A and B are shown apart, each in its own frame.
Chain A
Amino acid sequence: MQLKAKEKPVFKARNGGIQNLGIFIIMLVFIVIVVALSGSKFLTPTNLLNLLRSISVTGLMAVATTLVMITGNIDLSLGWMIGLAACITGVHSDNTAEALVLAILACAACGAFNGILVGVLKLNAFITTLGTMYAFKGITMMYSDGKMLTASVQNDSLKFIGQGNILGVPTPIWIFLIAGLIFWFLLKRTTFGNRIYAVGANPVSAKFSGVSSARIIMATYILTGIVTGIAGVVFYSKVMSVQPYSGAGLEFDVLTAIVLGGTSVSGGKGNVLGTIIGVIFVGILSNGFTLIGLGSNAQYITQGVILILAMRADVMSTRGMKV
């Protein structure tokens, strides 16, 4: 066991920045193609800010969920968690503080529930969060009555969260970047971050070095919940209305971005910087295809192929390292 832990390039991966070079190259090639085909439309400040703004919600969730993934777990309930947060924001759209607090609390509770099941009871994370996804879906649909929620009163402070600008940059981007910075710091510079890697890389040796995997896993799920709550508020305030089911499927976008960023599904490997690059890449795909004039169908097909290519490159590179 101990030997095996040594073989895993955990610490190297953590300090090495971007580990998935394959995805970086594919991304650059794609940008060149987009720029060439779209003329000058892609590289304008407005377009780039739009691109970043469109990925900010997925990005927010992805940086937090990276922590869950590094512990070797997964969260499929994200899509309905953000739906719940957005619906809560919709119901309390007249009071920004109330909406924020309630959305964050609700999602933190959802995260804690996931965390207890996966961390303390040690249930299979995939199936468990699939089950809680169903449960959260039920709660969201009951809470919103399945109807679209629109802001009844003008609320400028809430609108500012989704549509405002600070120094010419949209607020959602700031929120995304700050969250990215916080989680990068958390993972790289704190004991908590070290323990997350330890739990994911080798739970047995982590246990013997006094790390409570239950507590660490719970903490990662709760953090994901809190961030998803914030993301829900941003999600709502971007258009000031929400369909309760509009978050469904976001969990797969988040998963795609995280995996493209080089985080391993089996845990112990990954970082926030990679995730941010993964999120940006998916954003470029979607933005680029729109600019070229191809619809989202072409984007999905390409995204699937790229996911396979990137993973294959990753598999080959780790195999090379072992030899």
Chain B
Amino acid sequence: MAAYSHGAVGYTPVAHADSASALANASYQALRAGSATALVRILEVFIGGEATSSTVNRMALRRLSTNGSTPTDVAPAPLNVYSVAAVAQGYVAATTGPTIAATQHLLNLAFNAFGGIVRWVAAPGEEIYIATATAPNAEVCLDSISGTGVVSQDIKFESL
């Protein structure tokens, strides 16, 4: 089972409450399982703050109740050179942005974006799953609930 990495680099988050819809391009990072038979488990989340002054960001990994429409896929990078191209895709832009589900947050990460670093690593069996191509099971997004300090972030995942 190959592992991949997808990143969103140096973007300014927009504070998105639950149920926020049609998210603006480059205000979030989304990961989608990519096909009706795909299963993805998230192994690691990394966020590095790049704000130039003290800015508390509350970041969260949340499921999407509506998938992004015609997303601009950015192919995830395989962590092994011999891995096949990922079925799952990441995106930060879409014709119509996704809608955040008003359901339970999968992971909440608050930190100071003025040079702060967050890294969550799942133990085996403790991963977060997305599956198929149908909302609300298929996609997650990592973005801000509040705080708009510039961040770069990265999600590592495994395709099953």
Q: Do A and B associate with each other?
A: no
